Amino acid sequence: MEDIILVLRKNKSFMVYCILALVLVLISILAPFIAPHDPLKADMANSLKGSSDIFLIGTDQLGRDLFSRILYGALNSLKMTFILVIIVFIVGTTLGTLAGYFGGIVDVIIMRFCDVFLAFPGIIFAIAIAGVLGPSSINTIIALAVVNWAKYARVSRGLAMSIRKKDYIKAAKMGGARQYQIILKYVLPNIIPSLIVMAAMDIGSMLLEISSLSFLGLGAQPPTPEWGYMINEGRAYIQTAPWLMIYPGIAMFITVTVFNLLGEGIRDILDPNEEY
């Protein structure tokens, strides 16, 4: 705990990014308590109303409070993003570590799969997968996980290949340690910090990818509030009710910027000499 406090004191900008990211996460978690209105309740009598005392930043085409929908959109967007990052982190790190540590046929098989998934433009491949699976939040996560795990596997494989040649790995083998013990005790602890940096820097980009698929109608389905789909809904009213696009866009911009800065701060602390 003292080490964490010392790091935060030495890196005040990182501490600010942590606070901002924590505020965003807390706002999303507390959305059901903060939101002044039901985000799903339609009221056509208040359709496309501007900001007022009742509706802080106006209403959408169905009379739903936009501020409440943005808060719930934060909950849905961040939840999907964190689930996606965790999945690709675990899958990519596990497969890459196995490929790099064992080598041989294991390495060949896993890396050929990586080559296949890295051969296509990521977002285009994700759109194709999501289109086949059908539009839903779960299918969006699956599609983007299939696309993004390979880069984590590549990085972890390279790290595992260099670590397996270290003297302490040879000493552990001579001492009778089992393979899984070596991986868990020596290999993964040396790989994970670099991959944590990578995952932290990917939060913003993966949020944008999720929102992009939702914008195209392949992600969260109505009436679920989700920033990408909210922006898509607002396109038809850009001249009469521009706030339908502006405010979800601002929320997304702020969130992506904060997590990108947080990722860079984590990189500077954990792996200052590494470039991604």
pLDDT in tens, 157-199: 988 988 888 888 878 878 777 888 888 888 888 888 888 888 9
Residue-by-residue pLDDT tens, the chain, 276 positions: 455 556 556 777 888 888 999 999 999 999 999 999 989 888 888 888 888 888 889 899 989 999 999 999 999 999 999 999 999 999 999 999 999 888 889 889 999 988 888 887 888 888 988 888 888 889 999 999 999 999 999 999 988 988 888 888 878 878 777 888 888 888 888 888 888 888 988 998 999 999 999 998 888 888 889 999 999 988 888 888 899 999 999 999 999 999 999 888 887 776 555 544
Long-range contacts of residues 104-109, Cβ cutoff 8 Å, at least 24 apart: 107/157
How many Å apart are CA 210 and CA 256, to the nearest integer? 12
Q: Could you tell me the CA-to-CA distances from 53 to 27, 33, 71 in Å, in that order?
A: 21, 19, 18
Give 45's contacts (C-beta < 8 A, 6+ positions apart): 63
What lies within 8 Å, CB to CB, of 236 at 6+ separation is 61
Structure tokens at 63: 């009379």
R_g of the chain, CA atoms, integer Å: 22
pLDDT (0 to 100) of residue 223: 85
The predicted model scores a pTM of 0.89
Is residue 263 within 8 Å of 247, Cβ to Cβ? no
In whole angstroms, give the CA distance from residue 191 to residue 160: 7
The CATH fold assigned to 2-38+53-270 is MetI-like fold (1.10.3720)
Domain map of the chain by residue range? Answer: 2-38+53-270
Beta-bridge partners for 59? 65
